[in-house]
Amino acid sequence: MKARALALRFGLVTGSGTDPRMRFGRAPLVLIGLSLGLALMSIVALSVGAVEIAPTRVIAILAHGLGLDLPWAFEPEQAAVLGAIRAPRILLAILVGAALAVSGAAMQGLFRNPLADPALLGVSAGAALAAVSVIVLGATLLSGLTRILGTATLPIAAFGGSLVATLLVHRLASRDGHTAVATLLLAGIAINAIAGAATGVLTFVADDNQLRTLTFWTMGSLGGATWSTVAVGAPLILAAIVLIPLHARALNAILLGESEARHLGFEPERVKTLLVILVALAVGTAVALSGIIGFIGLVVPHLLRLTIGPDHRWLLPGSALLGAILLLGADLIARTLVAPAELPIGIVTALLGGPFFLWLLASRRGRGF
């Protein structure tokens, strides 16, 4: 009866007991609010910086780009700063934040574990190791590969590293069609340790220029955002962000249990394979473009789940919106708190996400995982 009630609630089956309030309740309002919040946060992020630009002028510049002339005058230098520096950075923050949050929500549903996170399971570490290998060895051992792939080498390598790490963790934790949660987390910790050690070796042999790049890159930064980097990463990340929510009903079914999911017409192993590839694509590209940014994938789904519940039809798009908002806020703090210097954004997200992670562990103490 409990499984039947959950299936009705998640819209997996129809019946006279379906509560219309679940269709027209809080979740749509929360998504509308998050959409408005993302628009507002984007304008604030575009306004604040070394060159202050009033929000009305930001709107006027954006409207002018669309062929509309508003009554708020602006200087050409302000339009140049907005178009060449801030706009690609804001757009990259939105893409990376959405990618990490959606990936975290998908992995938590897929593995039926609230602690599943791309960083905790070694996905980010695998992408980082592959990307660091390209940075350090790209001019020597991997020169042929970098010559063929060009600027796409780093995103492709990061995707490959994250895919290998995800498949390895999943393979180690799966047996007879079932995923052991404890083994999953332990395998993720082991992959993190191995990838971290290999990254340390590459850092040790790097020259001064490579070491300077690695130092800032491994702590996460959006400072290198340009229209070129956005153009390379946007199609890959957008593909994952659009395709992952298409499996929301399958994730709801897996929450009921894999045998129940099969009974409802879903193939859990096929869904797992597709989602693992999409998560690796999103996380690998995000890590390649912005470095390692932790805790977004862990914190955002939990915050949203507390508000609108576990239904992935709302949780996945909501996570994308909230992840974008939080990373925009973290980037705003990173580039203004110690201006004119800039904090690595990974430090800001760790300071925000670390206490939340400890609270999560403390709240679950005594209940087991």
Residues 163-187: tens digit of each pLDDT? 888 888 878 877 766 666 677 778 8
* 18 backbone dihedrals φ, ψ, rounded to 5°: -65, 125
Q: Which helix (H) or strand (E) holds 329?
A: helix 312-336
Instruction: Write down the pTM of the prediction.
Output: 0.83
Which residue do the tokens 């994308």 mark? 320
Please, how many CA atoms are within 13 Å of residue 267, restricted to the half-sphere of its CB?
A: 5
| CA 219 vs CA 213, 231, 283: distances in Å | 10, 23, 15
Give per-residue pLDDT as tens, 325-364. Answer: 999 999 999 888 877 778 888 888 888 777 877 776 677 6
**Dihedral sign for Cα atoms in the order 96, 128, 247, 108:** negative
Cα 204 to chain centroid distance, Å, stands at 29
Query: Quick one: which of 204, 229, 227, 226 has its CA closest to 215?
Result: 204
* Domain assignments of the chain as residue spans, ordered by start: 95-360
Percent of the chain with pLDDT over 90: 18
The model's pLDDT over 67-87, given as tens digits with 9 standing for 90+, comes to 777 788 888 888 888 888 899
Q: Which residues contact 101 (CB under 8 A, 6 or more apart)?
A: 296, 297, 300, 301, 319, 320, 322, 323, 324, 326
Q: What value does the mean pLDDT of the chain take?
A: 81
What class, spelled out in words, does domain 95-360 have in CATH? mainly alpha
Structure tokens at 202: 């590459």
